[in-house]
Amino acid sequence: MNRRTFSLGYSPCPNDTFIFYGLVHGKVTERINFRESLLDVDVLNNLALKGEFDITKVSFHAYLYLKDNYILLNAGGAMGRGCGPLIVARQTMKMKDLKGGRIAIPGLMTTAHLLLRLFDTDLSKNIVVMPFHEILEAVRSGYVDAGLIIHESRFTYPSYGLQKVIDLGQWWEEETGLPIPLGCIIIKRQFAGTMEEIEELIRKSISYAMENRDEVMPYIREHARELDDSVIGSHIDLYVNRYSFDFGDDGKKAIDELLSRAERIGGL
């Protein structure tokens, strides 16, 4: 039997390695091979613009610029409530205090940056782009005035002596009543005929990880930035949820709302 091979990009964050473990380790299919690359989401966003991967994780913000060449899958994404990006600083302050300040962000095409622009476009005029895992130290050291943090950083920023300024995910939920769409899985349009099969395999991979968590954990630890098991567990529990299996009606409304608001404020 000839096995098809797809190139697959996703991040080394615990939710992604948890979701895709079964897929890339041959636990859920014998028909398809996946050649994986684990990269920071901002790197994935930029590589998707070049068509680097057949299937890849990207930010929902980046998907705006990829719709001509890629189709959104309805499984494997990152969406939820209480899981949005935070702005943190060295001392207690309000967002208005950051006018003119330097804010570190994890990438121009990240959904975190889009939420910052949707909250106040003026705050994105003096940004510093850096890998997400360097932001907390940049804030602590005073290199920047504040940081826009994602992933595990929302669990670890207090250990850097930092204060939360705002939870942009909470702001979004209060503003719209909808969950916050963060990241999604997309597939090249030329493979549209395999969409449903790939979606089902992703769902099986998630279920496999849920049923075999001890087996999956070494792979997650191998790639995680934060090795504390409690942080890894909290990360997975927060970001791998019902929306990971299917966005559902409210999830699709959230995606439409986010992308329409993004289009209204214009491109980067």
Measured CA to CA, the distance from residue 62 to residue 238 in angstroms comes to 22
Active site residue 151: yes
Show the beta-strand stretches assigned E in the chain.
4-10, 32-38, 55-59, 70-72, 78-80, 86-89, 103-105, 127-129, 146-149, 163-167, 180-188
Q: Which of 113, 133, 151, 235 is catalytic?
A: 151
Buried b (16+ CB within 10 A) or exposed e, 129-156: ebebbebbebbbeeebbbbbbbbbbbbb
Is 42 within 8 Å of 135 (Cβ atoms)?
no
C-alpha closest to that of 164 among 173, 176, 155? 155
Active site residues: 151
